[in-house]
Amino acid sequence: MRRIERLEEEHKILLEIAKEFHRVCVKHNIPYYMLGGTMLGAVRHGGFIPWDDDMDFGIPRRYFSEFFKIAEKEFPSHLRISTVYNSRRITGGFAKIDDTRTYMVRSLFRGEDMKIGVNIDVFPIDYADNDFSRYSKNRIISRLLQIQAYRLLSLQDRPLPKKVVALFIKAVLSPLRRGAIIDFIVKHLIVDDGPNMANHFGAWSIKEIVPREVMGTPTPYRFENIELYGVEDADRYLKSLYKDWHQLPPDGKRKIHALEIYYL
The structure's pTM equals 0.92
**Exposed, middle or buried, 134 (CB in 10 Å: 0-12/13-18/19+)?**
exposed
**In degrees, to the nearest 5, what angle opens at C-alpha 154 toward C-alphas 157 and 50?**
70
Beta bridge partners of 261: 104
- Helix (H) / strand (E) element for 261: namely strand 260-263
Tell me the average pLDDT of the chain: 91
Could you tell me the strand order of the sheet in which 2-3 lies? 2-3, 260-263, 102-105
> Could you give the CA distance from residue 166 to residue 66 in angstroms, rounded to a whole number?
34
pLDDT at 15: 98
pLDDT the model gives residue 174: 87
d(CA 2, CA 240): 40
Mean pLDDT for 230-247 is: 96
d(Cα 147, Cα 182) in Å, to the nearest integer? 11
Rounded mean pLDDT, 124-133: 97
Interval 79-94: pLDDT, tens: 999 998 988 778 889 9
pLDDT classification of 59: cutoffs 50, 70, 90: very high
Residues 6+ apart with CB under 8 A from 210: 196, 197, 198, 236, 237, 240
pLDDT tens per residue across span 89-123: 788 899 999 999 998 876 554 554 457 899 999 99
Per domain, the residue ranges of the chain are 2-263
User: What is the three-class DSSP state of 218?
Assistant: coil
Between these two residues, 182 and 6, which has the higher pLDDT value?
A: 182
Question: Are the C-beta atoms of residues 57 and 33 closer than 8 Å to each other?
Answer: yes
Band (241; pLDDT cuts 50, 70, 90): very high
- The angle that helices 61-74 and 7-27 make with each other, rounded to 10 degrees, is 110
Q: Kindly report each contact of residues 174-182 with a partner whose C-beta sits within 8 Å and lies 24 or more positions away, as own/partner.
A: 178/84, 178/85, 178/88, 178/152, 179/84, 179/85, 181/144, 181/145, 181/147, 181/148, 181/151, 182/84, 182/92, 182/93, 182/148
Residue 249 reports pLDDT greater than 60: yes
pLDDT number for residue 112: 46
Which residue spans within 53-101 are E strands per DSSP?
A: 55-60, 79-82, 95-99
Instruction: Give the Cβ contact number of residue 145 at 10 Å.
Output: 20
Whether the per-residue pLDDT at 162 is higher than 90: the answer is no
Please state, for a pLDDT cut of 70, what percent of the chain lies above it: 93
* Chain centre distance of CA 109: 16
Cβ atoms of residues 214 and 233 within 8 Å: yes
What's the pLDDT band for 252 if we cut at 50, 70, 90?
confident
One-letter amino acid for residue 82 of the chain? S
Asked if pLDDT for residue 230 goes beyond 50, the answer is yes
Bridge partners for 228 per DSSP: 221
- Can you tell me the distance from the alpha carbon of 206 to that of 79, in angstroms, rounded to the nearest whole number? 31
Question: Which pLDDT belongs to residue 114?
Answer: 56
Q: Which residues contact 118 (CB under 8 A, 6 or more apart)?
A: 10, 13, 14, 17, 98, 99, 102, 104, 261
